[in-house]
Structure 1
Amino acid sequence: MPAILSSVLSNITDFVVHEGNGVKGLADMGLESLPKQYIQPAEERITTSTVIVDDTIPVIDLSDWGSDPKVGDMICEAAEKWGFFQIVNHGVPLEVLEEVKAATYRFFRQAAEEKNKHSKDNSPSNNVRYGTSFTPQAEKALEWKDYLSLFYVSDEEAAALWPSACRGEALTFMRNCDAVIKRLLKSLMKGLNVTEIDGTKESLLMGSKRINMNYYPKCPNPELTVGVGRHSDVSTLTILLQDQIGGLYVRKLDSDTWVHVPPINGAIVINVGDALQIMSNGRYKSIEHRVIANGSNNRISVPIFVNPRPNDIIGPLPELLESGEKAVYKNVLYSDYVKHFFRKAHDGKETVDFAKIN
């Protein structure tokens, strides 16, 4: 083993986290085996015995959204039974999708010194964060992933703080998704018999947004680790663009089996987050999902997390309780919920229990 690689492996946290090399820096050194810090417990790895190969999440064609009420019904049914679905013919231009994927690669191909300007130790704002794994200080085993996380406040702040390598493409992708996000939420609210989304409710459902750019380098022993561990999102909705490599798996509702989300060119993956599960009083389901590591290819994904505002109180929507439903969840400050999620390692659906009424 070369001396420089031996030195890196003896100080992985410094090299990967503090010096900004990320897991990409490890992969680029030509590793022949997975460092022990990334080896996941056996129960956290996906095996062929836990994967369903003949089932898949719904794919919904939005071409006739305005004229066919069945489209809205399919969206609500998918949110109830799967928590995940893919949309095609959604109106977001294909070139916008391709450009934000190219920008993701452009950011991560930069030198570590450039990326590290946006790390926790160096970024001038908590709204811009480059990092690796999920919560390294709380994890027993690290995840094989680097990320750039961008919380949107305003175009002015983005112009000042977001990395130039991907700023324009990230903003364009977010803007182009706004119309489809609003229509999805309108359909989902109609499914709860909430017929009017006024300004207050729209702000509660989609008052803040965060876009992440995720990079999963080729891995020497993909069967021993994960790209992302088991979790559900804390969002209202997540709008996910994945590349054509594949590797996203969702847990089938009330099951111990996992289903692959196959890449479809031009499609966008939609999933329900914890905030919407709570607001729908459990009708819509935020589902555990995870990403496997890949031994042959680098992989990227670009999720937009559509969230309440940090200072919003989330709980079952008043319209549901007024119709006689018993509340399953208590009211919680959204920022408290998010802090609870980020202070620990990925642990499946345990975060949503934080909001359950005992």
Structure 2
Amino acid sequence: MEVDAVFIQATKHCPKLAVVEADDIPLIDLSVLKSHNSSEPDATAIRLLIYEIGEACKNWGFFQVINHGVPFKRRKNLEIVARKFFAMSKEEKKKVSRDDVIPFLGYYDTEHTKNVRDWKEVFDLTVENPTLFPVSHEPDDKELREYINQWPKNPPELREECEHYAEEVQKLAYKLLELISMSLGLPANHLNGFYNDHTSFIRLNHYPPCPVPHLALGVGGHKDAGALTILAQDDVGGFEVKRKTDGEWIRVKPTHDAYIINVGDIIQVWSNDRYESVEHRATLNSKKDRISIPFFFNPAHYTIVEPLEELIDDQNLAKYKPYNWGKFFATRKRCNFQKLEVENIQISHFRRRQWKAVKAVCSSSLVQTTHKHNQQLLNLALELSSPDAQAFDFSFNTGGEKSTVKPQAPIKLEAFILFLLDHRERAKHDYEQLKKTVDELQAFEQNVKLVKELKL
């Protein structure tokens, strides 16, 4: 069977034939939250649970939960009715297709992730019906619109099953939000206020069998833009995450009645990078189709997303500029359904430049060898953002004397990285710190144009 080239991934993104699995993926038991034998849960057990949640968010960016309180029959019933819907003819499904009036609710089968088409079809619905969203991604456009779910005539039970399921999973979402809040040292309900008019939605994903599962993906590697994602996958499997320790894609084996919980970008910003959203993707099967049901737990459209003030101080400066969630979401959705020449909007576009970190790196042993090398690092910073860099006091010790380095002609990033590589054997720890700083600055340089265009 010939496959359209729009589905084919770049070689570096193609899934490996050999599946990598990990035995140490966090599997967290929430049964302590169900107080069967006493009026209050055990305090020690709760503290341990909060610690487990925090460690999983910090080290993995995701985890699985069992004994979560969502009735299994609700999940199973929705999976069954979803299969009925996707088994209908294309003509029938397209009666509830999303369009310009309802741009992200209903049926769709041409979604793109990073400009490559996904091998899947979806049905989206909001949890609150109707839900308010900005009409436009343009920052000066204040118009809002009520988005109302589209329900197909067949199967007739789809709406009821979706609504029952949403009600139950939403309860779990609030439990998890409160546990994450406490793991950050905040009151349990500290984040709840962002959800008074929440914009959460559910997606029914169907991944048909693919004749070239080694070349295509159900969903390409990405991070979720919202706060939390609660994912139900069937027993076919195919969900993979990029492990933070080594960048390896690992398969998350289906666990009966478990949910996969992904930390999203909003949690990363709120926590000021204490917790990091996880990159994940969906691989395909050549013989079996697959159903997955993510619940995207998102705040109100008017939420200004920024690091929580309780988590920032003089030693932990805010790493992100504030952004409006509704506008961010509208921009993200606009980009997901058309192939663009630029990268889709990311939270990295709102990352603040940490010039104190650059100065600390400049003072490291790796760049204390010659005045020339110090000059190169400063020129790199100046090339990326001259106003901020010129306002900063860059002083170095060269030859035993303290001197302030003045701006010179900018160097190329490639040349600077080569300089780092030449010195890595002498100071590997300094090299890693430098490389991270260079990567952050380079990412900012690549994305700053998009931010200016969006005027967010």
Bucket of the pairwise TM-score, normalised by the shorter protein: 0.7 to 0.9
Whole-Å Cα distance in 2 between the matches of residues 323 and 183 of structure 1?
A: 32
1:349 CA displacement: 9.9
CA distance in 2 between partners of 1:131 and 1:196 (Å): 37
Is 2:15 the counterpart of 1:41? Answer: no
Corresponding residue number in structure 1 for 2:83:
105
Match of 2:399? none
| Contact 1:288–1:349, Cα closer than 8 Å, also in 2 | no
Q: 1:342 to 1:254 in 2, by over 3 A?
A: farther
- Equivalent residue, structure 1, for 2:255: 264
- 8 Å contact from structure 1 (residues 148, 214) kept in 2: yes
Aligned to 1:135: 112
User: SS of the counterpart of 2:108?
Assistant: strand
Higher relative CO (Cα under 8 Å, sequence separation at least 6) belongs to 1
User: Unaligned stretches of 5+ in structure 1?
Assistant: 1-31
Distance in 1 of aligned mates of 2:77 and 2:224? 25
Supply the AA of the counterpart residue of 2:324: L
Q: Partner residue of 2:51?
A: 73
Q: How many residues align?
A: 321
1:83 maps onto 2:78 in alignment? no
Q: Is the 8 A contact 2:129 2:149 kept in 1?
A: no
When the two chains are superposed, the root-mean-square deviation of aligned CA atoms in Å is 2.7
Q: Return the offset for 1:238.
A: 0.2
Match of 2:296 in 1: 305
Gaps of 5+ in 2: 34-40, 132-145, 354-456
User: Post-superposition shift, 1:160?
Assistant: 6.8
Give 1:96's aligned amino acid: R
Cα deviation, 1:218-241, whole Å, max 9, x if unaligned, reads 111111111100100011100101
Match in the other structure for 2:122:
147
Shift, 1:188, TM fit: 0.7
2:20 alignment partner AA: I
Compute the TM-score of the two structures, normalised by the length of structure 1. 0.82
Q: 1:213 to 1:280 in 2, by over 3 A?
A: same
Q: Is the counterpart of residue 219 in structure 1 residue 210 in structure 2?
A: yes
Offset, 1:159: 8.8
Match of 2:273 in 1: 282
How far residue 295 of structure 1 moved from its aligned partner, in angstroms, is 0.5
Cα pair 1:232 1:348 within 8 Å, conserved = no
Q: 1:204 matched to which residue of 2? A: 194
Q: Which residue of 1 aligns with 2:351?
A: 356
Counterpart of 1:188 in structure 2 is: 180
How does the TM-score come out when normalised to structure 2?
A: 0.65
Structure 1 position 353, deviation (Å): 0.6
Matched, 1:161 2:161: no
Moved more, 231-240 or 347-356: 347-356
Change (3 A) 1:231 1:334: same
SS at match of 2:180: helix
Q: CA deviation at 1:135?
A: 3.2
Change (3 A) 1:45 1:271: same
Larger Rg, first or second structure (1 or 2):
2
Which of 80, 88, 102 matches 1:125?
102
Q: CA deviation at 1:251?
A: 0.3
